[in-house]
Homo-oligomer: A and B are copies of this chain.
């Protein structure tokens, strides 16, 4: 693994664990096993390295999420696959945590990474929901855009609650609520 790759990986881990303000270049260098020179050779500074690290995290999450949402299964099954993705509630969402960070939101490049990720996720969920409505899996009155937002928000909020209580069960309750909503939408497809 190149030093550049090690730095990007280490920065990503630390941003997830400690946020932007809580992560110092010195910490990143130590975890990556690199010196100052490597970092400032490959990146212009902390913000630049963070941008690369966040792009990497976003790409990984997209790949994992697309695995759950793609496939031949029903829309209900695919949405449940999304909700069932293995997550670490106490650690929080890599993108969601960073979107709460002051420094990330204040930097257009960094914030764009979070906006792109959630933009993509919202569109994909909306597509799956739309397919479900067309296939008659959901009530005709179902609003795919609204439900996509609801599903994303439930997962993100579940993380917040789990961290506040320091209890993964709080995350599961929220996601179970979302699962229930999906089931209810599917239970009475002829009702509108």
Min Cβ gap A61→B in Å is: 13
Is A178 close to B, CB under 8 A? yes
CA distance in complex: A61, B111 (Å): 28
Residues on the B chain within 8 Å of A18, using CB: 21, 102
Is A118 close to B, CB under 8 A? yes
Cβ-defined partner of A19 (8 Å) among B96, B102, B149, B155: B102
Min Cβ gap A55→B in Å is: 15
A100 pairs with B163, CB closer than 8 A: yes
B102 pairs with A100, CB closer than 8 A: no
Known: A101-B19, A143-B180, A156-B156. A118 touches B164 (CB 8 A): yes
Is A85 close to B, CB under 8 A? no
The 9 residue pairs across chains A and B that have the minimum distance between CB atoms: A153-B157, A150-B177, A156-B157, A157-B157, A153-B174, A21-B21, A149-B173, A99-B164, A114-B164
Within 8 A of B (CB), among A137-152: 143, 145-147, 149-150, 152
| Chain A residues engaging chain B, CB cutoff 8 angstroms | 17-19, 21-22, 92-93, 95-97, 99-103, 105, 111, 114-115, 117-119, 143, 145-147, 149-150, 152-161, 163-166, 170, 173-174, 176-178, 180-181, 184, 188, 191
B149 pairs with A100, CB closer than 8 A: no
Nearest-CB residue, chain B, relative to A167: B115
Min Cβ gap A179→B in Å is: 9
Nearest-CB residue, chain B, relative to A95: B164
A100 pairs with B100, CB closer than 8 A: yes
- Known contacts A19-B100, A114-B164, A153-B158; 14 further A-B pairs (Cβ under 8 A): A19-B101, A96-B160, A105-B166, A118-B170, A119-B165, A149-B174, A150-B154, A150-B174, A150-B177, A152-B157, A152-B161, A152-B174, A160-B160, A184-B184
